[in-house]
Amino acid sequence: MQPESRRRPGAVAIVASTLLAVASLTLFAAGGVLLWADGQKDDQGYLNTSSERFSTRTAALATENLDVDLDGLSSAVGDDTLGRVRLDVRPAGAEPVFAGIARTQDVDDYLRGTAHTIVRDVDTDPFRAHYGDRPGDRRIAPPAGESIWVASSTGGALDWKVRDGDWSVVVMNADGSRGVDAGVSAAAKIDWLDTVGWALIGGGILLAAGGAALIVSGSRRRP
């Protein structure tokens, strides 16, 4: 029987190689998901969701704060790193519908005192939106005349280049009247999915090779 000091290097190598194998499988899986998603893009390079219905009896639907935080790296990563978002908003009836994206603080100021609804969460399968109403009796001004929007559209698709900051999406009737009912689909354009996907798979290959090398070296009989 070999002394404990001679058997220990092999055991350590096996444990380390097992950990590397688990890490490599994780990278393989993550890379595969990104490559699969990249293959689902449409002709314009967007990943699309189905259209879902959102409605409220109040004057506006608004998302909670969408925090895009680059931690001060916005100038280093470039303008196109975060990609683009496209929202296609279609009215359920004849009333034209407005959609806009603005700073969350600006949206709060615009909607303050007006009855509106916050979209707090969304379940996807099956689809269900969770709302929270905020009371008010102030008549709101038509949204298209406001200068707060960084991207907006009435009766069509809204296209926005994602930027660092706190943002909210607002959907309203074009005249600001109560009773919003619309179908909304979203799409995202991220150009680096395939690059990161292949990089993760490459990292998984390197880790797997390192684990195999540890097993080979750990199994050698030491003098």
Q: How does strand 116-124 pair with strand 60-63?
A: parallel
Per-domain residue ranges for the chain? 4-39+195-219, 47-191
Cβ distance 187 to 47 under 8 Å? Answer: yes
DSSP letter (8 states) at residue 39? T
**Count of Cβ atoms closer than 10 Å to residue 125 Cβ:** 5
Give me the pLDDT at residue 186, please: 78
- More confident of the two residues 200 and 158: 158
**How far apart are the C-alpha atoms of 45 and 30, rounded to whole Å?**
20
Longest dimension (CA), the chain: 88
Q: Which of 173, 221, 198 has the alpha carbon at shortest distance from 55? A: 173
**How far apart are the C-alpha atoms of 94 and 90, rounded to whole Å?**
10
The secondary structure element, H or E, covering residue 60 is: strand 60-63
Give me the pLDDT at residue 160, please: 85
Cβ distance 168 to 107 under 8 Å? Answer: yes
**How far apart are the C-alpha atoms of 108 and 50, rounded to whole Å?**
28
As a whole number, mean pLDDT of residues 27-56 equals 69
10-14, 154-158, 171-175: which has the minimum mean pLDDT?
10-14
The rounded mean pLDDT for the chain is: 77
Cβ distance 201 to 105 under 8 Å? Answer: no
Q: Quick one: pLDDT band at residue 7, thresholds 50, 70, 90? A: very low
Give me the pLDDT at residue 158, please: 83
Give me the pLDDT at residue 168, please: 92
**How far apart are the C-alpha atoms of 15 and 36, rounded to whole Å?**
32
Q: Quick one: pLDDT band at residue 162, thresholds 50, 70, 90? A: confident
The contacts of residue 52 (CB under 8 Å, 6+ apart) are 122, 127, 129, 183, 184, 185
106-142 per-position pLDDT tens digit: 999 999 999 999 998 888 778 888 899 999 999 998 9
What's the CATH code, domain 47-191? 2.60.120
Give me the pLDDT at residue 180, please: 92
Helices and strands (DSSP H and E) totals, the chain: 4, 12
70-117 per-position pLDDT tens digit: 665 445 445 555 677 788 888 887 789 999 999 999 999 999 999 999
